[in-house]
Structure 1
Amino acid sequence: MFNATLTDQARHAVPATNVRPVRIWSQDERRWGLMTVRRRRITVRGVKPVGTIQHQYANCWCFGCVAPATGEADFQLLPKLDAAHMQIFLDGVAERHQDTCNIIVLDRSGARTAKALRLPETIALIFLPARSPERNPIERVWEDVRSQMAWKCFPHLECLEDERDAVLAAYTHQRLHSLSGYAYLVEAELAMVS
């Protein structure tokens, strides 16, 4: 049912005067900090896994969106999650993707629903139902990045940012499409073209 609703919402979000091709993006952000990401480790039964961890509280936010139909991605590092920084991210996406009408599917956090947000001409927002992170494919991308960074310690935040950026840069369009190519988003984009 949400698939048909998304297609209808996307059609209504596109201005009648639009001549640009439509691209649907999945957006979310992830906080990255110096506390070690822990994952399960295989050990002998009864033996607790050993791993080095650190407890430092410096952090930053990586805003990102991925186009499930193509695997294109757009990531931007920002210091905080609030409406002002969400505006910076949206303005950046609009500037980098001027040739398309960008429909961004996202959740309803306060930073995204703030009345202070001013949407650029090439961007429209469609909100997911409440409490449904499983419908947002970029969550799978963030989980994959976290898995690749598990059990690593960094002396300072810049080192963590460099490692995270290297992991993100290594993704191909095919890999991102395989992680985020949820059928309902791909089908919605195809329905917009036809």
Structure 2
Amino acid sequence: MRLFCQDESRFGLKTITGRRITARGVKPVGKVRWQFKAMYWYGVVEPATGEYFFWECSHCNSDCFQIFLNLVAQQYSDSILIIQVDQAGWHKAKRLQVPENIILMFQPAHCPESNPIEQVWQYLKKRLRWKSPNTLDELRELLREQLLVLTKETIASITGRASILEALSVARL
């Protein structure tokens, strides 16, 4: 048995702004885009090992979530996965057919901070700050570059909260 944390995140052409080093009293200057084209990335991470799986989709809905669950089930077919998910409507859809090696564990409503994968999304978006891709393909390439350099050790350091790792060691998952 393995514990994974799952969530989706929106990545769009609207520039992500953030802090920049400038002289005292000088506001940072950068190119900003206001396009509202976007794509969604689904992901699962395992806090204990840093293992991860990401998949791009055009929407957040039960159809895309079903495909994602099937891909995760295939990727980790040798294990039973307990996957922490939020209470989004597509996670609870009646027509959703959860694969046999997956158990969905719903986190409390309105508590995104309880899901460690949220920090992974923040980590990735921080690295996309001030980038101004012209198309979704350029954004996709930037994100893929970030995912290629993302290591299991980095994921484990971001998601491996002491409380989670302690609970896993007691449960012997």
TM-score by length of 2: 0.95
Quote the Cα distance in structure 1 between the aligned partners of 2:141 and 2:169: 36
Quote the Cα distance in structure 1 between the aligned partners of 2:32 and 2:68: 32
* Aligned residues with identical type, % of pairs: 39
Report the alpha carbon displacement of residue 187 of structure 1 after superposing the two structures with TM. Answer: 3.0
CA contact (8 A) 1:23 1:189 kept: no
Kindly indicate whether residue 136 of structure 2 is the aligned counterpart of residue 147 of structure 1.
Answer: no
- The answer for the alignment partner of 1:19 in structure 2 is none
Correspondence for 1:185 among 164, 167, 172: 164
- The answer for the alignment partner of 1:82 in structure 2 is 61
Quote the Cα distance in structure 1 between the aligned partners of 2:112 and 2:19: 22
- The answer for the alignment partner of 1:46 in structure 2 is 25
Report the alpha carbon displacement of residue 117 of structure 1 after superposing the two structures with TM. Answer: 1.0
Quote the Cα distance in structure 2 between the aligned partners of 1:159 and 1:102: 34
Quote the Cα distance in structure 2 between the aligned partners of 1:46 and 1:71: 40
Q: Deviations over 1:143-174 (max 9, x none)?
A: 01011110001121011011101101211111
CA contact (8 A) 1:98 1:122 kept: yes
Q: Unaligned stretches of 5+ in structure 2?
A: none
Correspondence for 2:144 among 165, 185, 191: 165
- The answer for the alignment partner of 1:4 in structure 2 is none
Quote the Cα distance in structure 2 between the aligned partners of 1:71 and 1:189: 14
- SS across alignment from 1:175: helix
Q: Unaligned stretches of 5+ in structure 1?
A: 1-21
Q: Deviations over 1:66-111 (max 9, x none)?
A: 0000000000001100011011100100011000101001111111
Q: Deviations over 1:90-136 (max 9, x none)?
A: 01000110001010011111111111211000000111111211111
Quote the Cα distance in structure 1 between the aligned partners of 2:87 and 2:8: 12
- SS across alignment from 1:115: coil
